[in-house]
Amino acid sequence: MSDKRTFIDSNIILYLFTNNDGRKKIVTSLLNSDYTISTQVVNENVNVCLKKLKLGKEEAYSHGENLLNTFRVVNIFPSTIVAAFDLSKKYGFSFWDSLIVSAALENDCETLLTEDMHDGLVVEKKLKISNPFK
């Protein structure tokens, strides 16, 4: 375990369900680490499993439970949402991306693994955006 906290975005974890063996391997390696996700990430993963991937409830919910048991899971609070509003306005992120960034910042993460935002960007002089597939 590292002293530096890393937050993983929903889009990264969903590569567990891809046919891209290279990306799946990278994500699988993240499952053995002490990384942080939020309740939003769990909810988004389960929703995509049900709606987009058309998995059954048992498999989708099992995936959600695995996330809850694998990662350090943090809650979204009203303060997280308000900070997301400000981040969205300041950086031009979508609200949902801002909520991910806000949760990562609120929980003292130094790195955010995502594909959705500019790789290498440092948000609020604290959080580095990193694409694990580059």
pLDDT of residue 32: 73
pLDDT in tens, 91-115: 999 999 999 999 999 999 999 999 9
| Domain membership of residue 12 as a residue range | 5-130
How many domains does the chain fold into? 1
Sheet holding 72-74, edge to edge: 72-74, 36-38, 5-8, 109-113, 127-130, 122-123
Task: Kindly state the average pLDDT of the residues 71-88.
Answer: 97
Q: How confident is the model at residue 127 (pLDDT cuts 50, 70, 90)?
A: very high
Report the amino acid identity of residue 41. Answer: V
| Host H or E run for residue 111 | strand 109-113
Q: What is the pTM of this model?
A: 0.92
CATH for 121: 3.40.50.1010
Task: Assign residue 124 a region (left: φ > 0; alpha: ψ between -120 and 50; beta: otherwise).
Answer: left
Task: Kindly give the pairing relationship between strand 122-123 and strand 127-130.
Answer: antiparallel
